Chains A and B, each alone.
Chain A
Amino acid sequence: MKILVTVKRIPDPDEPLKFSGGVLDTSAVKWVPNTFDEYAMETALRLAEHVGGSQRLAEVIVMSICPAGQRQHVTQFLAMGGDRAVVVDHDDRALDAQTVAEAIAAVWKRESCDLLIAGKLAQDMEGNEVAQRAAALLGLPQATFAATVAWDREAGSLTVGREVDDGVESKKIPLPAVVSVDLRVVLPHSVKNGATPDDHAYQEGPRLASLRGITMAKRKKVDVVSLADLGVEAKNTSPIVHAEPPPPRPPGQIVESVDELVEKLATEAKVL
């Protein structure tokens, strides 16, 4: 089995953003992997590894679209335990979601993958559309917002618990398939592969890379390809026209009475 995990680099959400001339100034930005993609990676690794055994059940291929010289997030994913990587050498910020999905579909076909695992959205744009678009392009079943994943290797299917508005929906999909993951997929018991004991408790959260993993990451294979190599045309049908920070929040007010509060909520805040 081959699992393709996609990772987007985003400006560090813990750092303040800088704007200049109506655009986001990324010149001094620290790039980090999108957190939901880290969850996707953790999911893939839990499916691929047999805790207590030595056999690996799947190959995990990391894919990212980024300038080839700025792929530290890919190195990090390889250090976590990915087997190899495909880097599409392009500034991802100049591409729309459809083009990104087309590139993913092209890599999927090139590598003859069986499972795509993606974060449900990227924290910078919060689009929540790439995995769905890729599934459509590939004509594959999909299960989005996965909170639990159980792999039935005999049947070649996944049972996915999906976070939906009124609870968790359980959905069984045949492989090959597309899964996008949500936060709770990295709880200690969320992923089962039928080989690792079902009661095995993983460390909560995406795993930290080991020192050995970091050293090994440098030796792992990274294919650098262009969009043209993949037969994908670079498009941006939804360019950013203007970006500016939100206005600063006005200071809080202390009111004298409940009446005054209600009055202000109704007239100033207009929430009543």
Chain B
Amino acid sequence: MSTPFRVDLDDLRFVLFEQLRIDETLQRVDRYKELDRDLYDATLEEGAKIAKEVLHPVNRPGDLEGCTLDGDGNVTTPKGYKDAWRRMAEGGWIAPTAPPELGGGGLPAVMAMALNDMFIGAATAFMMYPGLTAAAGRMAQAHAPEALRALVAGKLFAGQWAGTMCLTEAGAGSSVGDNRAKATPTDEPGVYELEGEKIFISGGDHDLAENIIHFVLARTPGAPAGTKGLSLFLVPKFMFDEKTGALGERNGAKVVGIEHKMGIHGSSTCVLALGSDRPCKGWIVGEECEGIRLMFQMMNEARIGVAAQGESMAAAAYGYAVQYAAERVQGTDIREYKNPEAPRVTIDRHPDVRRMLMTLKVHAETMRAAMLRLAMNFDMSEQLDDEADRKRLFGRVELLTPVLKSHCTDTGFEMAVTAVQVYGGYGYIAEFPVEQLVRDAKIQSIYEGTNGIQAMDLLGRKMRMEGGALFMGWMQEGQKLVAEAKAAGLAAADAVGKAIGQLGAAAMHLSKLAAGGKIAEAFYMAVPFQSAFGIVVCALEALDQARIAKAKIDAGDERPLLRGKLRNLEFYTAHVLPKAVAFAKTVQSADASALDESLFP
């Protein structure tokens, strides 16, 4: 017996249409003014079917089978992947936000995020391929050489071709500036020959699409050391006709090994040799030495994508656990402890199991809201008329990207573990879906910039942008919501307000440390600061949802979902929010013990 995969359409609808009200908000911009609630609803309904009928069936077989590599550098994906890819591609689900003029569905990012909420948890490893392909499509659309732009972007969006991003090398992972791959100009303008070896390339080869487009960082002759000297190249698996896209000969980007991993077995993680057995050609993207800036566009998108993975893992973990706990009979009601005849009950009657289910519920639901809000802000930052508004919202996205990448992936993993705990012994057994969830989730706090790197980005860049105005703006908006919630009679608002204050004090402390030259001491506290930040961001979502729910309940709406939102806020305030306050204290503790040079000599 296993547990069916569940999607939470009711909660998705609550966030999209009652909390964020995307149907009203997005109709204000030209690009989305024809989209309405009906269309969004139909998309969600159909997306749920895709998750359950197309994606989920390949999740466990893909985990068991994994990918294989033959002697010619060809990767075979698990059985069923090709069919799932074909159905995703036919339905236009590979890149739901792709512009209609390039054959896409033209959905806003917030709807793509809602689809990801369902899709990723359904088949985590499989969804890496469409995720990277869509991101590569947008990269091609924005920056590929003019002559190739529409062709390559269109093929990627349609899922005829697939995409990757190639940064990491054996000596250059988190430290991308140590990249050594070389790119030498050829006689053909804009075309280079690449040499080197990239590792950990997700989707580096596979049998899902007819061609693969790699976006590769490499160094041109005479380029400066570090990230400043990196250029970006579009490197196809097969050369192609620039007009028709007809495939030509094999290019010299060849997989020479695949990794055997803890999880996401269905995703091929490749060692990609460039120019090892035949010349490897690539078109330069942008200008020489512009690579890192352009690649960061894809990186930022990928970081948001990984945050979405974490969120979706929590959603899936909650879905499994709550269904299992409602069926699994074990023990008697604790209040009947004196009664030997007491009937056996399902485990969701036990207080500690209920505590775990509530932990899963509040994290899944608050992260969902935070991620959908991030995506909607991204949409508005691209589409609003007013430049100041666009800039403000984009700044918000930039500020919260590392915070949510780390919070959602750390929490997503923790929730997968919590789901195993709810299952008890059976959770540890491969027959049930939650142990795979744990293995699949762990990578998310590591790739696309480890959560430690995210914290450095947060502290070193995002907090300092515009003299700290991004953070201040976020705090002000948070306090405004706190005031509104308080006026609406939500007692928990005070605690959230205090936590924002504590976070502000921690930020102040860190900036003093840095100003005083104590750079190592400040970065030593980057992760605790980031952890506190993530918890408070989601506390604001719990507060906002409770505020909306309360108004509806007061107006006579009796849906249990609304009552659940009030309970979420109570639970979050009692069980989760104190952790933010504790982290803020850690940040301000003056501890520097681990920096003692005599340790770890």
Give me the interface of A with B, judged by CB distance under 8 Å. 72, 75-76, 79, 203, 208-212, 214-215, 217-218
Contacts and interface: CB of A to CB of B under 8 A. Distances in A.
Nearest to B39: A218
A212 B105 contact: yes
B46 interface: yes
B93 A203 contact: no
Contacts of A75: 38, 42
A218 B92 contact: no
Contacts of B92: 210-212
Given A76-B46, A217-B39, 6 more contacts: A76-B45, A79-B42, A208-B91, A210-B91, A211-B107, A218-B39
Interface in B328-376: none
Given A203-B87, A215-B105, A215-B106, A209 B38 contact: no
B385 interface: no
A210 B103 CA distance: 12
Contacts of A203: 87
B8 interface: no
Interface stretch (B49-57, B163-171, B243-251, B569-577): B49-57
A208 B55 CA distance: 13
Contacts of B53: 208
B96 interface: yes
Contact of B34 (A72, A208, A218): A218
A191 to B, nearest CB: 18
Nearest to B100: A215
Contacts of A79: 42, 46
Interface in B80-127: 87, 90-93, 96, 100, 103-107
B389 interface: no
Contacts of A217: 39, 42
B76 interface: no
B387 interface: no
B107 A72 contact: no
B41 interface: yes
B43 interface: yes
A209 B42 contact: yes
B326 to A, nearest CB: 13
Contacts of B42: 72, 75-76, 79, 209, 214, 217
Contacts of B327: none
Given A72-B42, A218-B38, A211 B96 contact: yes
A221 B250 CA distance: 48
B36 A214 contact: no
Which has the most chain A C-beta neighbours within 10 Å: B36, B46, B96? B46
Interface string B22-66: 000000000000101011011101100110011000000000000
Contacts of A209: 42, 46, 91
Nearest to A210: B91
Nearest to B93: A211
Contacts of A210: 90-93
A211 B38 contact: no
A75 B45 CA distance: 12
Contacts of B36: 218
A129 B54 CA distance: 34
Given A76-B42, A79-B42, A208 B50 contact: yes
Contact of A211 (B34, B43, B54, B87): B43
B41 A215 contact: no
A208 B47 CA distance: 9
A215 B50 contact: no
Which has the most chain B C-beta neighbours within 10 Å: A75, A203, A212, A217? A212
A182 to B, nearest CB: 21
Contacts of B87: 203, 208
Contacts of A212: 92, 103, 105
A11 to B, nearest CB: 15
Given A72-B38, A218-B36, A211 B91 contact: yes
B123 to A, nearest CB: 16
Interface string B574-601: 0000000000000000000000000000
Nearest to A28: B559
Nearest to A79: B42
Contacts of A211: 43, 46, 91-93, 96, 104-105, 107
6 contacts: A211-B46, A211-B91, A211-B105, A211-B107, A214-B39, A214-B42
Contact of A208 (B41, B46, B103, B106): B46
A76 B91 CA distance: 14
A62 to B, nearest CB: 14
A256 B107 CA distance: 63
Contact of A214 (B43, B54, B100): B43
A209 B100 CA distance: 17
A215 B39 contact: yes
A185 to B, nearest CB: 19
Contacts of A76: 42, 45-46
A212 B103 CA distance: 8
Contacts of B91: 208-211
Nearest to B96: A211
A67 to B, nearest CB: 14
Contacts of B38: 72, 75, 218
A214 B50 CA distance: 14
Which has the most chain B C-beta neighbours within 10 Å: A75, A211, A214, A217? A211
A183 to B, nearest CB: 16
3 closest Cβ pairs, A-B complex? A211-B105, A211-B92, A210-B91
A79 to B, nearest CB: 6
Contacts of B43: 211, 214
A203 B43 CA distance: 20
B249 to A, nearest CB: 29
A218 B42 CA distance: 10
